[in-house]
Structure 1
Amino acid sequence: MAGRPKIFNEEEVINKAINIFWSNGYEATSTENLLSEMEINRGSLYHCFGSKKELFAKSLDLFGINSIKMIEQKIKTYDNPIIGIKNFFIELSSADYDTHNKGCFMGNSLSELSNLDDELKSKATKNLVVLENVFFKYISKAKEDGQLLTNEDSRILARYLLNLWNGINITRRMYPNKEVLESIIKLQLSILY
């Protein structure tokens, strides 16, 4: 027996789950938290998503796809991708207090899950590597077009930017202040000339 059909938009429900997982973390999010936030019943949760772990995995996937697409679109709006990368990072400093305190969903998940669940850790890692590859793609393009003059290896620069991404998402919790964050980010980005 197939059961009753879904009467909700799966992507909308997963986005609600992302919000609660992002705010609380995987371990601290209870099934009751999820049911309340997602506005579905227990049967629907288990029928559509299987388990909390499977829902979290789907949340990581959806968040990864959407956030990488958004980041890449921001970078692509500039003729010079290095300016796009720099502006993307500098815009982080202008976020509101709550956004600063949330940090990065992928980074948070990787930190939390490193010693708890290899499968979920791997999924969070994979999404961060996709971000690294976006940086690599545009750094390589900028070098080919003569828009980036450094002799630093493009892969190392992409990993440097990923490291900046991870670090700034911790630092913004300590200093949720536009001026402080912007000055740190600009200094870090000075390697891209």
Structure 2
Amino acid sequence: MAGRPKIFDENQAIEKATEVFKNKGYDIASAEELLNAMGIGKGSFYLAFKGGKQELYLRSIKQFSDSFHQKLSEGIANSDNEIEFIKQLFLGLANGTDCDKERGCYLGNALVQLSEKDDAIKKISAEILKNLQQLFAEVINKAQKNGQIKSSEDPEILAWHLTNLWNGIHVTKRMENSAQILTSIIELNLKLLD
């Protein structure tokens, strides 16, 4: 016996739950709010997400991360200047008020809030950061080879620096909302890509 068939799209339901997590945070988002946003009942929820709210959150982060990484990869691949694309990604963090897939704010905030609370989230966080670092390293390596940037620093280390900057800006934005200050911090760090 296979059980009751699913009558909802899990990916769409996770997307709707992601909006709740973005707006409320993991701790404050209630089961009722999540179920209402997803448009499903408790029975369907626990059939699909046996680990409850935590499993939903992990899948939300993973799904958002995959989408963010795909959009970022496509944006880099389709840009005329990959280094400039990365610079604009970071500068957008200073000025952006919304949390979209291009900037990955939801991921940054999730990593800051929960990576130390749970081993599964910590593992996903490490994977997200490593994927981001690898993407940056590929662009930097290519830019060094074609003389687009002067730095002879190890592309892997420069990429980790950018990954750390991406993380750090999400932390700093929680305390400082001046776009001017954030832009200055980012521009100073991005001089490594000149």
Same structural fold, with TM-score higher than 0.5 when normalized by the shorter chain: yes
Query: Larger relative contact order (C-alpha < 8 A, sep ≥ 6)?
Result: 1
Q: What CA distance in whole angstroms lies between the structure 1 residues aligned with 2:84 and 2:136?
A: 12
Kept in 2, the 8 Å contact 1:80–1:142? The answer is: no
Q: Is contact 1:13–1:38 with CA below 8 Å preserved after alignment?
A: yes
Deviation at 1:17, TM superposition (A): 1.4
Give the paired residue count: 190
The answer as to whether partners of 2:140 and 2:159 remain within 8 angstroms in 1 is yes
Q: Which residue of 2 aligns with 1:91?
A: 92
C-alpha distance in 2 between matches for 1:165 and 1:80: 20
The residue that corresponds to 1:82 in the other structure is 83
Corresponding residue of 2:48: 48
Alpha carbons 2:99, 2:105 under 8 Å: kept: no
Structure 1 runs, 4 residues or longer, greater than 6 Å off: none
In structure 2, the partner of 1:26 is 26
* Shift in Å, 1:23: 3.0
CA distance in 2, matches of 1:82, 1:152: 15
Change (3 A) 1:145 1:117: same
Indicate conservation of the 8 Å contact 2:91/2:186, yes or no: yes
- 1:160 matched to which residue of 2? 161
TM-score, normalization by structure 2:
0.86
Q: Which moved more, 1:61-70 or 1:173-182?
A: 173-182
Identity of aligned residues (%): 42
AA partner of residue 69 (structure 1): Q
User: What residue identity is the alignment partner of 1:113?
Assistant: L
2:21/2:29 contact within 8 Å kept:
yes
Cα RMSD, aligned residues only: 2.2
- The runs of 5 or more residues in structure 2 that have no matched partner are none
Structure 1: stretches of 5+ with no match in the other structure: none
TM-score by length of 1: 0.87
Please name the residue that 1:146 is paired with: 147
Q: CA 1:94–1:74 in structure 2 vs 1: closer, same or farther (change >3 Å)?
A: farther
Superposition pairs for residues 65-76 of structure 1, below 5 Å? 65-76=66-77
Question: Separation in 1 of the partners of 2:4 and 2:149?
Answer: 57
State the AA in 1 paired with 2:167. N
Residues 112-133 of structure 1 show CA distances to partners (whole Å, capped at 9, x for unaligned) of: 3344211221112211211111
Q: 1:106 and 1:191, CA in 2 relative to 1: closer, same or farther beyond 3 A? A: same
Between the aligned partners of 1:152 and 1:80, the Cα distance in structure 2 is: 20
> Contact 2:99–2:106 at 8 Å: present in 1 too?
no
Equivalent residues of 2:115, 2:125 under 8 A apart: no
